[in-house]
Amino acid sequence: MTVGLWQTADTEHATPTQAAVVVIGAGIIGSYLALRLREQHDDVLVLEARHVAGGASGRNGGLLLSGIAHNYAAACTHYGRELTRELWRTTIRNREAMIAWATRLGTPVRRCGSYVLASSEREADELRASVALMAEDGFAAEWHSTDPLGRGFVAGVSNAGDGVIQPALLTAALLKASGAALRETAEVYALLSGEDGVLVRARGGDVLAQRVVLATNAWTPLLLPEFAATVVSARGQLLATAPAPRVLERACYCDEGFEYFQQLPDGRFVLGGFRNLAFAEEATYADHTTSGIQSALDAFLARYFPELADIPVERRWSGTMGFTSDGLPLVGRLKRDERIAYAIGFNGHGLGLGMVVADELLYELAGTGSGSIFTARRLLPEVVA
């Protein structure tokens, strides 16, 4: 979100275009927000720095899971039982919303179920405790005291309701269904508050908006410095093999969420993770891959799925995620200009929480919210309305 002076020489003095609402970011959150905002406003413009689903929405593993990276027992310790229960309910509502929209719009979706796999005895103990706590709180999950895949994991938990989607196609379909106007390659580099609106300075021409909604996740601090200490970027790396014989039916999460994988209908095996091997190096906006983490992904594949050892890797890529200081997304409006709103900081759970979090922001903007658990006021009371 930096733009050179020379890149705007032909537009910087032009009269800005007008829009009732500008959504910044054409990922899955921004596209869904555009669709919902179009229910209230005819004039919605989406500005995207690259292209639709060009960020994390088109660069993730495609897993649509209930829960968060913490298992239920660990989340209860970290967040408390009541908040953990609400988080799980939220992810299930979001999962069902994502599946419903993918089905309605005709983009690929499979309710194939999931396994959360333990990589250690300690993690197995936590997963066993999690299943008991989940049962008490009304969540269905099945405990497996041994590896349900038979591949060397310690134990596992299955959830039949989980699935996978094609996130880039769903993002594009949501945006198309919204009917909102779209400008790609339109990096936004400043937001200037004025009496007659918010001037959105963007490559390709400025826009004067009456409402600005940021769906910019990790990139938010580059536009709103108030979030510099609260939202940080982190890179996630993945690979995909060429089509291979069927070895896996379910979506899988293991090692406390630091590895995740699925096999596509065409046989390609998608695997991501190992950010925990290099936290400092992966705290970056760069989207290239690194030999250390890609080697770890290769080793994981060889260890647990040796029959794929001779299948060539077809693609290696990475995506930039936004992490908050307490691990939960942020929704709200700025105190200095309540016309600027945001739904950001998804901590690697844009698919798991995105639609419900976006709805929470819309409820707040409409004055019908009853106090979202994702309100930014919990972390930034001095800058949030």
Q: What is the CATH number of the domain that holds 369?
A: 3.50.50.60
Domain ranges, residue 179: 5-58+169-226+326-378
Give dist(CA 106, CA 101) in Å, integer.
8
So what's the pLDDT on residue 125? 97
pTM score, two decimals? 0.96
Q: The tokens of 190 are what?
A: 């400043």
Between 212 and 6, whose confidence is greater?
Answer: 212
Instruction: Inform me whether the pLDDT recorded for 1 exceeds 70.
Output: no
Q: What is the pLDDT of residue 385?
A: 86
Same domain, 198 and 246: no
Residue 6: what pLDDT? 81
Q: Are strands 330-333 and 313-324 parallel, antiparallel or unpaired?
A: unpaired
On whether both 208 and 331 belong to a single domain, the answer is yes
Does residue 195 share a domain with residue 181?
A: yes
Question: Which pLDDT band, with edges at 50, 70 and 90, does 323 fall under?
Answer: very high
What pLDDT score was predicted for residue 11?
79
Q: What is the pLDDT of residue 141?
A: 96
- Considering the domain architecture, whether residues 252 and 331 belong to the same structural domain is answered as no
Percentage of the chain beyond pLDDT 90 is 93
The reply to whether 319 and 331 lie within a common domain is no
CATH of the domain at 277: 3.30.9.10
Residue 143 lies in a domain: no
pLDDT at 69 exceeding the cut of 90:
yes
Contact yes or no for 286/240 (Cβ under 8 A): no
* Alpha carbons 231 and 321: distance in angstroms, whole number: 10
Both 216 and 330 in one domain: the answer is yes
How buried is residue 69: exposed, middle or buried, by Cβ count under 10 Å (0-12/13-18/19+)?
middle
**Together in a domain, 299 and 345:** no
**Number of C-beta neighbours around residue 247 at 10 A:** 14
**DSSP at 176:** H
Q: How far does the chain reach from its first CA to its final CA, in angstroms? A: 25
> How many domains would you assign to the chain?
2
Q: Give the helix/strand (H/E) hosting 236.
A: strand 231-241
- Categorize the per-residue pLDDT at 349 as very low, low, confident or very high, splitting at 50, 70 and 90: very high
pLDDT of 147 > 70? The answer is yes
300, 331: one domain = no
Instruction: Please identify, among 324, 340, 365, the residue that sits at the C-terminal boundary of a domain.
Output: 324
For residue 120, being part of any structural domain is answered with no
Confidence bin at 331 (pLDDT 50/70/90): very high
Residues 174 and 318 in one domain: no
Count CB-CB contacts under 10 A for residue 121: 10
Q: Which percentage of the chain shows pLDDT scores above 70?
A: 99
206 shares its domain with 259: no
Residue 126 lies in a domain: no
Residues 29 and 51 in one domain: yes
Residue 369 has pLDDT above 90, yes or no: no
Residue 95 lies in a domain: no
pLDDT value at residue 381: 93
- The per-residue pLDDT of the chain, averaged, comes to 96
Please tell me whether residues 319 and 248 are part of one structural domain: yes
Q: What is the mean pLDDT of residues 279-298?
A: 97
Residue 174 binned pLDDT confidence (cut-offs 50, 70, 90): very high
Mean pLDDT confidence for 214-220: 97
pLDDT digits (tens, 9 = 90+) for 196-206: 999 999 999 99
